[in-house]
Amino acid sequence: MNDIAKKPRWPLVFNIIGKIILLMWVLLALYVLHLVSPFLGSMYSITKIPQTYFEVKVKDSKATYKQVTTMPGDWVPLNKISKRLRGAIISSEDGKFYTHPGYDIEELQDAINDSVVKKKKKVRGASTITQQLIKNLYFQSDRSLWRKSKEMALTLWIEDKVEKDKILETYLNVIEYGDNLYGIKDAARYYFKKDPANLNARESAFLAMLLPSPKRYAQSFRKKELTPFATRIINSILLKMQQGGYIGTEEYYTSLDSRFSWEKYVEPQTPAEEASEIESYDLRDL
């Protein structure tokens, strides 16, 4: 018969649409997994930090970090690093390191106020030592808002899983102190021909001064002369060390009057020269 009803095609259409939707969900899930898998891997890595170390490899002036279970030859345990160096770094970079949960809300508020309200071109830094460590180990080339979000999440994670002393030890052993110069052992020997345990207060303050921009501020060492501006930064760090109880009053004044073995006498800068140098000073990235 010509009028026999044909089978409707709608079930077949719905079946095809259903398969397309399922495929889209699978692709979306794979994409999300691609985005979060490095983040999840970083979280797992952090849980292992108390039992592991990091090897620093430098290629084309770019550092990469490999987590290892055996202590590298250039790694220095915290108890073999001068207390003055530890005090200088904390005083300069993160005065509340041992008391905050990974972020310093007051510093963050001040930085936002300087940037948004006062509209300053040179904004004060707000990153804690823990945040700087996370950025160095996992997010060196990423400067997006998404990176900052991941950085904060991992900062809270590492603060929950790792002791403060281990965080500080790792930080001191992986950060940059100059051109292709990483880790406190190599830095102490390069600048002062000393082991990290033997650094004095003034030498420690010098290394702390380098951290905002190590390659730029190492020029004082290369030229064998400390500019008045660099001297002022070092003296400021020494004062913070004295106020924080890392050095006594007598050692503070002795350090102010001392000079490095490689340091030459420098003619005082004019006010205009010093103002120009102050303007170029790099603070930590937000």
170 pLDDT higher than 70: yes
The average pLDDT across 24-33 equals 62
Task: Give whole-number Cα distances, 90 to 201, 238, 277, in Å.
Answer: 13, 11, 24
State in Å, rounded, how far the first CA of the chain is from the last one. 80
Number of neighbouring beta carbons within 10 Å of residue 138: 19
Whole-angstrom distance, CA of residue 18 vs CA of residue 25: 11
Cα separation of 158 and 278, whole Å? 35
**What domains are defined for the chain?**
41-279 (1.10.3810.10)
- Percent of all residues in the chain with a pLDDT value above 90, rounded to a whole number: 55
Render the burial of 85-116: b for 16+ CB within 10 Å, e for the rest. Answer: bbbbbbbbbbbebeebebbbeebeeebeebbe
Measured from the Cβ of residue 128, the count of other Cβ atoms closer than 10 Å reads 25
Give residue 14's pLDDT.
65
Q: Where are the beta strands (DSSP E) in 80-228?
A: 176-178, 181-182
Cβ atoms of residues 202 and 258 within 8 Å: yes
- Above 90 in pLDDT, residue 111? no
* More reliable by pLDDT, 123 or 275: 275
Mean pLDDT for the stretch of residues 135-144: 77
